[in-house]
């Protein structure tokens, strides 16, 4: 589509803290889920 990101102005550096916050917001719970998953998955080899 022509209205895509290639048409958007470059990202402003001022947005970086917001980008970091947004990724942490979703990344931290996901990391917790993955940690629990790995703990459980190792039971295949140890259980």
Partner 1 sequence: MSPPVAPPGWSRWLVPPAALSVHLSIGQAYAWSVFKPPLESALGLSGTQSALPFQLGIVMLGLSAAFGGTLVERKGPRWAMTVALVCFSSGFLLSALGAAAEQYWLIVLGYGFVGGIGLGIGYISPVSTLIKWFPDRPGMATGIAIMGFGGGALIASPWSARMLESFGNDSSGIALAFLVHGLSYAVFMLLGVLLVRVPRTPKGADGAPAPLDGVQVSARSAVRTPQFWLLWVVLCMNVTAGIGILEKAAPMITDFFADTSTPVSVTAAAGFVALLSAANMAGRIGWSSTSDLIGRKNIYRVYLGVGALMYALIALFGDSSKPLFVLCALVILSFYGGGFATVPAYLKDLFGTYQVGAIHGRLLTAWSTAGVLGPLIVNWIADRQEEAGRHGSSLYGLSFVIMIGLLVVGFVANELVRPVHARHHVSAPAQREAADVRRQQPESA
- Rounded to a whole number of angstroms, the minimum distance from the CB of residue 33 to partner 1 is 3
With contacts defined by CB under 8 A, how many residues of the chain interact with partner 1? 36
Cite the DSSP H helix spans in 1-47: 16-41, 43-46
Please give the structure tokens belonging to residue 13: 């550096």
Examine residue 17 and tell whether it contacts partner 1 (CB under 8 A): no
Examine residue 47 and tell whether it contacts partner 1 (CB under 8 A): yes
Cα separation, 27 vs 11, in Å, equals: 21
The residues that touch partner 1, with contacts defined as CB under 8 A, are 1-12, 14-15, 18-19, 22-23, 25-26, 29-30, 32-34, 36-38, 40-47
């Amino acid at each position: 589509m022509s209205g895509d990101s290639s048409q958007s102005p470059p990202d402003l550096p001022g947005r970086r803290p917001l980008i970091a916050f947004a990724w942490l917001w979703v990344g931290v719970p996901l990391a917790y889920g993955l940690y629990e998953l790995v703990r459980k998955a190792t039971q295949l080899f140890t259980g």
